Amino acid sequence: MLDGMKDRKRPDPDAICKRALPVAGVAARTWLGRVDAWWAHGAAYAVRSAMRGTAALLLPVDCVCCRRPDAVLCAPCARAMRTACLRPRRVEHRAESLPLNHRNEPLPVVAAGAYEHELAAVILAFKNRQMPGLVGILVPPLARAVKSAIDTLVEPGAPVVLVPVPTRLQARNRRGYFPVGLLLRRLRRTRVLPDRVLVAGLVRYRATRQFTSAQKGKGRRARGAVRNSMCAGGGGLPARLAVLGARVLLVDDVLTTGSTLAEAKRVLAEAGLQVCGAVVLAATPAPDEKRGVRSTR
Ligand SMILES: [Zn+2]
């Protein structure tokens, strides 16, 4: 059987994510399955390509990395980003505020790539320039990192829950969408995740306390304010998943200090869930390797 699987392996590293398929466990004949089948059809692809060409004439776009015209991410930049994200890597040593286990080891974190060059430019555009359409470009690197985390951090056969690290309401209102939620929704629709993997928003920010939005540029003391800012969501779902012995992998876009991951883990651990690690799209370089992070606008 393994040989058969090897035979079907595609040369394109992103091929697994290009076929949008329904959620695992949901019959292919649901409306979502039909929409996905229609979307993946060759004729629909040709129509979309033609429409993209027309749209480029009417509404000029340029590459989010190098500003080359006519594509939101030009072919050379897309290729460079794919190459940079081919091998997911462990990055917990870079974050100073990650929670430690009883052996004094930080929570394991797998990153799709480093927060620099093309990947940083695409993430910034996706998050801060109201370009949710970039989700399709970011899903393949995230899928690879999630698979790597499941393979290396979770016991074989155990149910896995991917929990997005929440965004503050203020940021969500400003953008009009929830970037990590959008990524996970798209990821769930691919065939890449095993059946035992579930996606659930089990953590949210408390509504009663006011926090400022971004952590960037804040001191260590200010980042400490993240503590007690979150609470469990999802009604009785965390308790039911805990009874099933589910293992949690937190999912976030960028790892900086790790304080938001620490807070999310605290909330889930209090709800009785076992958090095995986290997956991020990109990790900022360690203090001694801070170079090239903002090399692309
Ligand atoms: Zn470019």
Question: Measured at the alpha carbon of residue 28, what is the angle toward residues 23 and 33, in degrees to the nearest 5?
Answer: 70
CA of 149 from ligand 1 middle (Å) equals 30
Tokens of 218: 């804040």
Q: 8-23 pLDDT, tens per residue?
A: 444 444 443 344 333 3
**pLDDT tens digit string along 113-123?**
999 999 999 99
Ligand 1: distance of its center to the CA of 81 in Å?
10
Q: How far is the CA of 118 from the centre of ligand 1 (A)?
A: 8
Q: Is the pLDDT of residue 2 over 50?
A: no
SS3 284: coil
Q: pLDDT-based confidence at 36, cuts 50/70/90?
A: low
Could you tell me the residue ranges of all domains in the chain? 87-209+229-289
Percent of the chain with pLDDT over 90: 57
Per-residue pLDDT tens digits for 157-203: 899 999 999 999 888 888 899 999 999 999 998 878 888 999 999 99
Ligand 1 midpoint to CA 73 (Å): 5
Confidence of residue 277 (pLDDT cuts 50, 70, 90): very high
Token pair recorded at residue 193: 């995740």
Say yes or no to pLDDT of 267 above 70: yes
Tell me how many degrees the CA angle 260-206-122 measures, rounded to the nearest 5. Answer: 45
Half-sphere exposure in the Cβ direction for 230 (13 Å, CA): 28
> What was the pLDDT predicted at 124?
95
Residue range 87-209+229-289, CATH number: 3.40.50
- Centre of ligand 1 to C-alpha 134, Å, is 14
Instruction: Say if residues 239 and 202 touch (Cβ distance below 8 Å).
Output: no
SS3 label, residue 103: coil
- What protein residues have CB closer than 5 angstroms to ion ligand 1? 63, 65-66, 68, 74, 77
CA-closest candidate to residue 264, choices 166, 171, 194, 122: 166
- The sheet carrying 160-164 orders its strands as 89-90, 109-114, 274-283, 247-255, 160-164, 197-199
Mean of pLDDT values over 41-66: 72
Cα 103 from Cα 115, distance rounded (Å): 29
**How remote is the CA of residue 46 from the centroid of ligand 1, in Å?**
23
